[in-house]
C-alpha cells in the first residue's frame, strides 16, 4: 500500500465519505423490527442497532450509516421496503 502525504491545502472531503443514511421515527414499527432491519440491511451488531433505534425514538432521527451515495441509496431502499422511513443526505464538508 502506497502512503500519501496530506498537505495543508489538500481537501479532506475527497478522502472521506460524505453521505449519511438517516432513519426517521414513526409510530408504526416496533423496536424489534427496527433493530432486526438495521442488523440485516446495514450490518449493525445488535447493540449498535438498539442504540440507533433509541436515538431515532427519542430524537426523531439518526444517522445510521456513513458511506457512498450508491451503497446508502441501496440500503435506504431496502429499509423503506421493510416499512421504515429513511433517506440519504449529503454531509456538510
pLDDT tens-digit series, residues 22-80: 999 999 999 999 999 999 999 999 999 999 999 999 999 999 999 999 999 999 999 99
CB atoms within 10 A of CB 34: 25
**Using CA atoms, how far apart are residues 40 and 51, in angstroms rounded to an integer?**
15
**Using CA atoms, how far apart are residues 45 and 42, in angstroms rounded to an integer?**
9
Please tell me the predicted confidence (pLDDT) of residue 17: 74
Q: Is pLDDT above 70 for 15?
A: no
Mapping DSSP to helix (H, G, I), strand (E, B) and coil, where does residue 67 land? strand
Supply the pTM of this predicted model: 0.81
Please tell me the predicted confidence (pLDDT) of residue 1: 47
Q: Is pLDDT above 50 for 13?
A: no
- Write down the CATH number for the domain with range 17-90: 3.30.1390.10
Amino acid at each position: 500500500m502506497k502512503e500519501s502525504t496530506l498537505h495543508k491545502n489538500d481537501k479532506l472531503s475527497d478522502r472521506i465519505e460524505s453521505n449519511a443514511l438517516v432513519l426517521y421515527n414513526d409510530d408504526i414499527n416496533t423496536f424489534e423490527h427496527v433493530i432486526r432491519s438495521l442488523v440485516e440491511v446495514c450490518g449493525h451488531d445488535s447493540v449498535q442497532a438498539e442504540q440507533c433505534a433509541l436515538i431515532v425514538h427519542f430524537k426523531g432521527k439518526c444517522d445510521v450509516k456513513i458511506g457512498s451515495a450508491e451503497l446508502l441509496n441501496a440500503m435506504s431502499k431496502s429499509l423503506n421496503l421493510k416499512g421504515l422511513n429513511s433517506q440519504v443526505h449529503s454531509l456538510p464538508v
